[in-house]
Structure 1
Amino acid sequence: MTTRQQFWTLARLTGLLLLIVTLTHMAGFQIASRFVIAGDFAATSAKIAQNEGLYRLALLSYGASSLLSVGLAVTFALWIAPFSPLAAGLVLGWRLFEAICATVAWAIRFAMVDNQITPNLLRQPGAEALHQVLRNVSNAAFDLGAMGLAFATLIGFFILFRARLLPRLLSAIAIVGATLILGSSIVTLGWPDTPIQSSMAFAVTLLSNLGIGVWLLVRGDRSQQAKLLAQQA
């Protein structure tokens, strides 16, 4: 395989993994959110108990997204490494940090299911109090993971923007989404009672990821910089 083909292969593999990670994350969120009734522990527990298998499948989809993001981090870092080895290392490190935090958060969410739907010695008041503690811990892990995702995206897509490895509009949208995620995650982590909507930030990022994933899967890396590096190699 030539160096130019390697660039194209890494770009397409990055696009494929980006699509899979984004779609599994969105599927998990859409399914799990239907079970949650804000502020009502008993009603949420009853809905989960009615279809526990589907709820666990949603959590599993979330977990798969976090684990697959490790592969995405590796291919993305390898793709941009010729343009900036330091940036590639930082992207890989922050994405691994994100994967670890998200995996811990989803492990806690799995543990919360039994506490919600299975009778235990704590009874409902104690179970609800434990649920709140576990939820706060998992939310903090999610916020930390989201910050890791934001830093990795800002660094990686700045390199893509500067090197024109993608249409600059796509890179710019990804950077805007990452900036919004970073800001909202810092606020919710430091001041959890602050009424702030982070769904818009994640919506921008997820939708841009779908567009970028499709672009890379179809086009690969055909930038002038990649061709130049291939010629130099």
Structure 2
Amino acid sequence: MNRRSPQRLARLTGLLFLVIVVCGMFATTALDGFVVAGDAAATAENVRSGRGLFTAVLLGWTVLLAADAAVSVPLYLLLRDVDGLLALLAMAFRLLFAALLGVAVTGVFHAYALRGDPASTGVGAAGSGARAMAELASFDTAFLFGLVVFGVHLLCVGVLLYRSRYVPRALGALVTAGGVAYVVDSLLGLLVAGHGGAASTALLMPAALGELGLTAWLLIKGVTTGRPHPKETV
């Protein structure tokens, strides 16, 4: 790579991270607004009556999915000189996460397909509501599995950033901690009934700070070149 290449890769990576953050915040928050816990009929009615917003949610997930897959390339190119094998592993986990996210999002599309007149589905309002709720529940489960993989990816990236000195080492450590937090929180979500709320928010705080901090740093400062430390022991 020439001297300017790492900066271009950093800015492109930061831009894609920003797209992911914005789309992720919108899509997850808006989708949660359609779900009425324990009331399948109300959930189905929300999907039917909020067609415009639900369409925007689908668009948000689609853009996020594309950006998640795309960012794996510049991120790998940026970090491969630090540790090629670990950078390749990080890329593989990112692409695996994107694939799992794609599977998860099909549940949202299936719920959207139930937006029409309940009679037209052949199962009535109650059946349509139950199916919509089941599809959204399947999305939640698949998404949690995907976030376990994403956490491993983030752990790899954090270690690479810490070794590279491309960004402050504290930021690399925060990204690493965020990866661990994603793995732990997602496993708790899969294995412990009722996990979420304030406990999940507190657990994921390092992840949020690390992702937002890295996005801002790459967009504003880029990377500090000329002093990578390949395969340095952490």
TM-score normalized by the length of structure 1: 0.86
Size of the aligned set, in residue pairs, is 226
Equivalent residue, structure 1, for 2:47: 48
Partner SS for 2:35: coil
Q: Is the 8 A contact 2:20 2:67 kept in 1?
A: yes
Q: Residue in 2 aligned with 1:193? A: 193
C-alpha displacement of 1:224: 4.0
Asked if the contact 2:110/2:132 (under 8 Å) is kept, the reply is no
1:163 corresponds to which residue?
164
3-state DSSP class of the match of 2:82? coil
Matched with 1:218 is 220
Rounded to whole Å, the distance in 2 between the matches of 1:135 and 1:51 is: 15
1:34-53 Cα offsets, whole Å, 9 max, x none, are: 22222222222222222211
> Which whole-Å deviations, capped at 9, do the CAs of 1:77-136 have from their partners, x for residues lacking one?
110001111011111100001101111111221111233654122224433443454334
Please tell me whether residue 27 in structure 1 is matched to residue 26 in structure 2: yes
Q: 1:148 to 1:79 in 2, by over 3 A?
A: same
Query: For the aligned residues, what is the CA RMSD?
Result: 2.3
Tell me, yes or no, if the aligned pair for 2:41 and 2:126 is still in contact at 8 Å.
no
Query: How far did 1:196 drift?
Result: 3.8
Task: Give the drift of 1:68.
Answer: 0.7
Report the counterpart of residue 13 of structure 1 in structure 2: 12
Q: CA deviation at 1:201?
A: 4.3
Give the letter aligned to residue 79 of structure 1.
Answer: L
Deviates more, 1:204-213 or 1:19-28: 204-213
In structure 2, how many angstroms separate the alpha carbons of the residues matched to 1:183 and 1:216?
A: 27
Aligned pairs for 1:75-114 (under 5 A) are 75-114=74-113
CA shift in 2, pair 1:35/1:134, >3 Å: closer
* Aligned amino acid, residue 195 of structure 1: H
Secondary structure of the corresponding residue to residue 186 of structure 1? helix
Matched, 1:180 2:181: yes
Asked whether the 8 Å contact 1:91–1:152 carries over to 2, the reply is yes
Q: Are 1:209 and 2:208 an aligned pair? A: no
Unaligned runs of 5+ in 2: none
Alpha-carbon distance in structure 2 between the residues aligned to 1:176 and 1:117: 44
Per mean C-alpha deviation after superposition, the further-off stretch among 162-171 and 152-161 is 162-171
Displacement of 1:217 in angstroms is 1.3
Cα–Cα, structure 1 residues 48 and 194, in superposed 2: closer, same or farther, change >3 Å?
closer
TM-score by length of 2: 0.86
5+ residue gaps, structure 1, are none
Higher relative contact order (CA 8 A, sep 6+): 1
Alpha-carbon distance between aligned partners in 1 of 2:49 and 2:205, rounded to the nearest angstrom: 29
